[in-house]
Amino acid sequence: MQTGLKEIYKKIKEAESVLLLAHLNPDGDAIGSIMAMKTIIERLNISVDGVITDKYDFISKVPEADKLLTETNKKYDLTIIVDTNNKNRLGHLDYLYDQSKEIIILDHHLVEGKINHLNYIDSTAPSATTVIYDFIKENNIELDYNLAFYLYLGLITDTGGFAFSNTSARAFNVASDLLSYGVSHGQMYADFITPEYNLNYLYLKAKAISNLEIIDEKVAVTHLTFQDITNHPYDVPKEFVNLGRKLENIEVSVIFVEEKPNTYKVSLRSKEYLDIAKVAEKFSGGGHKFASGIRFKDNYDDMKSAIIKEIIAKI
């Protein structure tokens, strides 16, 4: 059930051990959210672990994030899930959800079905770290450089460097406060929005461009195979889904990435009016109005056709 931020803080203080989880393939917002909550809970002298499905290259630039785990066999009094409200988005860590004594969810995504746990979800927030920023302010928790860094990491990455449609006055107000603690926007932008890349990045981008197809003049679709990303290893950037979105007259851009043999991640972006989350939900995915995702196994051709058909039907 939806509850207040003060009530959530009280519940955290009652725990002797806390587990922090986020969605699979964690991005800057997921990592920033976990690290911010980990810092807050450590200050309370409560045992806390953050567990993530994968450690990507960008994480090495996040202070103390090397302490995050990828597995745990420990038992915890309380599990806090950030940046998702859907068990299915936890990937192979869903077993930790199943064995949790008590769960709290802090998120900014649209609610996917009924939530039977304590939660605070603000779908108007530009990032999950913005929700945690509100949590900090509501409970008079002291901000410092590291906390500001983690919160800004989520904010700058989920707004695409303050370029996406979720960039609001609220986003800039939060950013202004966080920058006052010494966070460098220029360095964060260079490290997490426009990081240095290698030839593998260029190959994958070229491949995504060469595979691009336009359907019904409104939908741009591309793909990368498992062979592509294996032969040219590089964390596939979120920006690749926007290759088609930037084309004139395109409303929806889609990229299918075969992360493992016959296992696919689909990223969907809409530009002006289509609620792409409604398309994702049709295939057990979800996200935001203009940015959502889907995952599936096998039957690539059939699933691709069905997803595109659903998009076209809603345009």
* Residue 249, pLDDT score: 93
Domain ranges of the chain: 5-193, 199-314
The model's confidence at residue 111, banded by pLDDT at 50, 70 and 90, is confident
How far is CA 271 from each of CA 159, 208, 214, 315, rounded to the nearest angstrom? 14, 19, 15, 11
5-193 has which CATH code? 3.90.1640.10
The first and second tokens of residue 40, run together, are 């807050």
Give CA torsion, residues 48, 157, 109, 271, to 10 deg. -170
CB 131 within 8 A of CB 108: yes
pLDDT of 315 higher than 90: no
Q: How far does CA 132 lie from the centroid of its chain?
A: 14
**How is domain 199-314 classified at the architecture level of CATH?**
Roll (3.10)
- Give the tens place of pLDDT for each residue, 62-92: 999 999 999 999 999 999 999 999 998 899 9
* Residue 1, pLDDT score: 67
> What stretch of H or E contains 7?
helix 5-14
- Give the tens place of pLDDT for each residue, 207-223: 999 999 999 999 999 99
Across the range 188-211, mean pLDDT stands at: 92
Give this prediction's pTM: 0.86
- Give the tens place of pLDDT for each residue, 120-178: 999 999 999 999 999 999 999 999 999 999 999 999 999 999 998 899 999 999 999 99
Distance CA 56, CA 70 (A): 12
